[in-house]
Amino acid sequence: MRAGGVLIDGATGYGYTLTEDPALPPQSFSRLETEALTLAVGSLDQLGDERLTRAGKDALARIIASLPDHQARHSLHAIMRSWRPVMDRPNITVDVELLREACWEEISVHFAYRDKQGRRSKREILPLGLSYSPTTLMLVGWCLLREDYRTFEVARMDTLTRGDTSFRPRRVDLLRRYVAMRMAEWEAEQVAKSEEINDPNALALATSDENNQPNVRMVLLKGLNDNGFVFYTNLNSKKSVDIKSNNNGSMCFHWKSLLRQIRIIGEISKISDKEADTYYSTRSYGSRIGAWASQQSSVLKNRDELYKSIEEFKKKYPNNNIVPRPNYWSGWSLDPFQIEFWLHGKDRIHQRLLYIKNKKGMWDRSLLNP
């Protein structure tokens, strides 16, 4: 009430006394505050939520109606505008109002969910809040199936119903912990960007040959496809020869500055020529020439032999934009069936979370001793 202009005497522990008429004085905003309100409500159109946009405009109209005449005129002639190109947003089929009510009333919701791979699952979620990203609406919640925080694209939900599980008064605590967790992750990422030596996408790739002789080397992760984790190499290299005779492999990412690692086990298969061509075209001219010049893993007499080969292929392909992909250069994809997330803990009491893909293609989760 004091913020609204009411004169109140007193302090905590001593009591309070209204010293004047308890009626609030007329609402008043500065020009900049009026501009800020108008700008905020005008931006709601970009979220694709008609009910939310209408509610914002109705609220602003009531605020303007309560202003003195000269301030009301300011709001009608605001000089600030926000414009962005309208982006296509996925169609939402569930009742968003039901999601909002569940958040406010702190009650669970049930829905069927389809992930990006098209796999469906049924979930019961403790909804904590809705987040409007630039392209879609997201639900943040505590998943009772996974017993962890999860974010869901609302457009991927269907058959949404109200649940019976109340989590009042846990919502505030759950949300605070989620925000703290995300902030810690963000801060760790900023540290990693500034302190990680180089190549955060570097990983140790382990293979074994037909005699089960293991071999490990560092490679760079260059993408994800429907099958898994993609890296590129010469198809006659030692790693490729190993994979052709034994397609079992494993990967390990280790980020020292984050005190984390991820271990992945799976089967390796060759990617399509189209996918290899697409990536190859993004490489620098020198890297594309190098793919032709280097017979990877074969014995080299001396460095001059390699440099001579590079110059020969530069003469053969002088145009930076026309360097075809060698048929002996492509990519491999590791399709995981086991993934372990490892987080450093004090006194070596690390956290280890293991996911194993079952016969239905879903992931079973378990905790491991450090």
Right CATH number for 202-368 from 3.20.20.80, 1.10.3720.10, 2.30.110.10, 3.50.50.60? 2.30.110.10
pLDDT at 199 over 90: no
pLDDT, greater one: 162 or 83: 162
Q: At residue 20, what are phi and psi to the nearest 5 degrees?
A: -140, -175
DSSP letter (8 states) at residue 198? S
Residue range 96-192 forms a domain whose CATH class is: mainly beta
DSSP letter (8 states) at residue 298? S
**Residue 82 structure tokens:** 């926000």
The span from the CA of 27 to the CA of 69, in Å, is 11
pLDDT at 9 over 70: no
pLDDT at 48 over 80: no
Q: What is the pLDDT of residue 252?
A: 97
**Residue 64 structure tokens:** 């303007």
* Average pLDDT value for residue range 272-285: 94
* Average pLDDT value for residue range 25-37: 77
For the chain, domain boundaries: 8-76, 96-192, 202-368
Q: What distances in angstroms separate CA 226 from CA 44, 155, 167, 319, 347, one per listed residue? A: 35, 21, 37, 34, 39
pTM of the predicted model, to two decimals? 0.54
pLDDT band at 41 (very low <50, low <70, confident <90, very high): confident
Q: Is 325 in the active site?
A: no
* Average pLDDT value for residue range 132-158: 89
Could you tell me which of 211, 329, 339 has the C-alpha nearest to residue 270?
A: 329
pLDDT at 3 over 70: no
The span from the CA of 33 to the CA of 26, in Å, is 16
Q: What is the DSSP string of 315-349?
A: HH---TT--PPPTTEEEEEEEEEEEEEEE--GGG-
**pLDDT tens-digit readout, 87-96:** 678 889 999 9
* Average pLDDT value for residue range 193-212: 85
pLDDT at 270 over 90: yes
Q: From the candidates 62, 84, 303, 348, give the one annotated as an active-site residue.
A: 348
* Average pLDDT value for residue range 304-320: 92
Q: How many residues would you count in the chain?
A: 370
* Average pLDDT value for residue range 112-137: 88
Q: What distances in angstroms separate CA 262 from CA 1, 192, 237, one per listed residue? A: 53, 16, 25
**pLDDT tens-digit readout, 67-78:** 888 777 777 776
